[in-house]
Amino acid sequence: MQLIKKVLALVALLPLTLAAPAEAELATKFESDVRILGTVVITTYSGNACNGSNEQVTVTNGGYRCFPVSNKRSIGISGSGCTVRTWSGGDCRGSSFTATSSGCYSVLYGSVSI
Ligand SMILES: *[C@@H]1O[C@H](CO)[C@@H](O)[C@H](O)[C@H]1NC(C)=O
């Protein structure tokens, strides 16, 4: 009788045990989706060849944001998963340039959107 009770308890626990791997898979999928959003490090430079004085901005898994710069003539980008645009105006308006990959871009700009 005691043994039967133990077996019944095991059978009752079985569905819980089977559900666990699916949850783990979901968690993994969620984490990889978050990673797709990406991290980008943006460095703004006063020189036109990613030289001169600079300021660095790091954005991780961010939504849209816009920040103004002054007297910047080039931009260095590293990371992935984000779209980086430079704008002629200080408020992410005017003519824009879209950086498609990591690297240094020589462009005069008044603001950057990510
Ligand atoms: C950056 O490098 C370019 C090309 O070598 C040079 O003409 C310019 O004067 C430099 N700018 C600064 C701010 O160092």
- Nearest CA, atom 2, ligand 1: 49
Give the count of beta carbons closer than 10 Å to the beta carbon of residue 21.
9
Q: What is the pTM of this model?
A: 0.68
pLDDT band at 94 (very low <50, low <70, confident <90, very high): very high
Residues 27 and 52 in one domain: no
Residues 18 and 49 in one domain: no
Residue 95 belongs to what domain range? Answer: 38-113
Residues 50 and 100 in one domain: yes
Q: How many A from CA of 17 to the centre of ligand 1?
A: 64
Burial class for 44, CB neighbours closer than 10 Å (0-12, 13-18, 19+):
buried
Tell me what the mean pLDDT of segment 30-50 comes to. 76
- pLDDT over 60 (residue 86): yes
Relative to beta strand 84-87, strand 96-99 is: antiparallel
pLDDT at 34: 44
Q: How many A from CA of 47 to the centre of ligand 1?
A: 5
Q: How many A from CA of 91 to the centre of ligand 1?
A: 27
- pLDDT over 50 (residue 53): yes
- Rounded Cα distance between 16 and 49, Å, is 59
Which of 44, 46, 51 should be mutated for ligand 1, with most atoms under 8 A from CB? 51
Of 79 and 21, the one with more pLDDT: 79
- What's the total number of domains in the chain? 2
- Quick one: tokens of 72? 């910047």
